[in-house]
Amino acid sequence: MSHKTKHAITRQQQRGIPNRELEVVMEFGDMEYRPGGAISYTITPAKKNTIIGDLKYMISLVERSAKIRVIQGESGKVLTTYHK
């Protein structure tokens, strides 16, 4: 998390915006350059749908992958894999 001004800390607290949500907006939001060298971050509806779709795919992948075991040798090569 980047450093925040006293004003930003006060407004964030007043508006009940958790740090993790702020981090998500800054990590995944679209950037827009503003006057004075500032940058605005926003998660648009289209971006939100893309992120949610990606997360749903990741959840599905983790569910399927949890049923698999991979055995790796000392050399780093995969020796075998199987369903648990």
Nearest partner of 22 among 52, 48, 53, 1, judged by Cα: 1
Average pLDDT over residues 45-64: 97
Cα 44 to Cα 75: distance, rounded to the nearest angstrom: 46
* This model's pTM is above 0.85: no
pLDDT in tens, 20-51: 999 999 999 999 999 999 999 999 999 999 99
Average pLDDT over residues 51-55: 97
Range of the domain at 52: 6-83
**Is 16 domain-assigned?**
yes
**Is 67 domain-assigned?**
yes
The residue count of the chain comes to: 84
Average pLDDT over residues 44-68: 97
2: pLDDT strictly greater than 80: no
**Is 1 domain-assigned?**
no
Give residue 1's pLDDT: 62
